[in-house]
Structure 1
């Protein structure tokens, strides 16, 4: 198993806050720091100081961290041309010394597109398939060769397919609950399949679909990592759990049913149930970062959850 920190900066967090979270995660031994790729707050609140860009943030963190892996859940396919995204991610990979991972999705939040003048096209899943083909194709093209792509939505001609990532293969994450297209795309392009905020039962069902898609594609299932992203709400006692749930505007019972919530012992038990489905990587999601309480929670998770599961 490995354990990662996942933040939602569009809810209100500047770069310095994200830097503090990332360096604390690194110091505490977490495997990775991931962030969302959104430009508009969801739910109540003003979202101050405003959004930060995912790949600009990760470029900064690449130079200010040394060990922890860095990535997105998920980069919005509507925000960047796939050729440009391939350049950006490869550059940040070089800046980090080969620690970058790309979670890529089709995008779903129409309001943020309207707010910032970004087109929100129909049939985004078709575009998403072409984006995966282009990004991975550019990286996999041998140096000195060129890359062409003639799709419905994107066309590339005589691309030098540069720069190359530092890693032999940048891990690519695909995720979601779609029963057909997503498993098939993951089997073709992904190294990891992520289940966002899914129950144990839904996780088991979707992992089964992805495994079936891998088999149909002639791909060994052992090459796919399965992961869950779940809201973190961990406390030393019931009062601390309740306080942290209230800060999220959530109910403790609901978080325990659909997240990594409760005492450390309860969270260890919850992770065990997910692990039985085949999931081996867990993203502790911190949707709100209004103060430094999340740093204390991260220390608690590292010392009393992760340490126990890693014995």
Structure 2
């Protein structure tokens, strides 16, 4: 089981805050450092303001050395896919091949309104999302010296040199590994089967994990893809303490209740966390993203590295 650190900087974090977490996660042996891709806070005041995901990852690509880096999830509404393909390929080069692209259709209406970003209806967002997956992977996998064209309903490319190329070529369709996630019963499994190197379920219980993993497996089998070629993962809010007092303090710091976190997150003592991870593992999960909300509490990560990581 791989454990990855997942942060929500839109709630209020500077680049230096994120760098401190990423460096400590790297030192402690976590597999990856991921961040959300949002431009507006969802609670609190969000000070000092949101940071851009791919600008952040470009900095971390140079300021870290071994930990993998990625987004959960970049919104397809934020960037033209041709530009995003260039950005991700460049950051992959800057990191020496340590980047992963988590990408979704987008959902947070208010951040689009706040920054003047168009926000189509759900049907159109998924159409654009599907085209972006095809287009981005197509640009990455076009052989050097050849040109790429795409004629979709929402995006059209002609005579593109399809450069630069990422360092990595291990993705399902070539290039950087692609993460897809979500709870949809039809479109999400189909897109995951076609494009995903990893399928992620954010903040869902064990029962739904089993249901949705099964849907994606069936969708893969229907197109002749081996489900074993997909990595399966969950994201859970992290709140672990050596005792009840420490647990309560950490829950209060993120504005949550201990009982609710025990039910819905990865919370409790280290032994409880190990037990829950193993239950998700039994359902097929191979990675757990630890949503780390208090970025100032590096001792939290140290506790997980010492008391949870060795047992999973």
Within-5 A mapping of 1:1-311: 1-43=1-43, 45-122=44-121, 123-168=124-169, 169-289=175-295, 292-293=296-297, 295-309=298-312
Normalised to the residue count of structure 1, the TM-score between the two structures is 0.97
Q: What are the ranges of 5 or more consecutive residues in structure 1 without an aligned counterpart?
A: none
Per the TM alignment, residue 148 of structure 1 is displaced from its structure 2 partner at its CA by 0.8
Per the TM alignment, residue 257 of structure 1 is displaced from its structure 2 partner at its CA by 1.1
Normalised to the residue count of structure 2, the TM-score between the two structures is 0.97
Per the TM alignment, residue 267 of structure 1 is displaced from its structure 2 partner at its CA by 0.2
RMSD (Å) for aligned C-alpha atoms: 0.7
* Distance of 2:106 and 2:8 partners within structure 1: 15
Cα deviation digits, residues 222-266 of structure 1 (max 9, x gap): 110010010000000011111111111111111111111000000
| 4+ aligned runs moved over 2 Å, structure 1 | none
Cα deviation digits, residues 168-214 of structure 1 (max 9, x gap): 13110000100110110011011000000010111110000000001
* Distance of 1:288 and 1:37 partners within structure 2: 17
Cα deviation digits, residues 67-93 of structure 1 (max 9, x gap): 000000000111100000000000000
Contact 1:248 1:288 in 2 (8 A): yes
* Distance of 1:158 and 1:189 partners within structure 2: 24
Q: Tell me the SS of whatever aligns to 2:194.
A: helix
Q: Tell me the SS of whatever aligns to 1:70.
A: strand
* Distance of 2:176 and 2:259 partners within structure 1: 38
* Distance of 1:129 and 1:221 partners within structure 2: 20
* Distance of 1:285 and 1:207 partners within structure 2: 20
Q: Tell me the SS of whatever aligns to 2:308.
A: helix
* Distance of 1:254 and 1:150 partners within structure 2: 48
Cα deviation digits, residues 99-146 of structure 1 (max 9, x gap): 000000011001001111111112201110001001111111111111
* Distance of 2:294 and 2:217 partners within structure 1: 34
Per the TM alignment, residue 287 of structure 1 is displaced from its structure 2 partner at its CA by 2.6
What is the total number of aligned residue pairs between the two structures? 305
Q: Tell me the SS of whatever aligns to 2:279.
A: helix
Contact 1:173 1:192 in 2 (8 A): yes
* Distance of 2:84 and 2:293 partners within structure 1: 25
* Distance of 1:287 and 1:136 partners within structure 2: 32
Counterpart position of 2:172:
none
Q: Tell me the SS of whatever aligns to 1:179.
A: coil
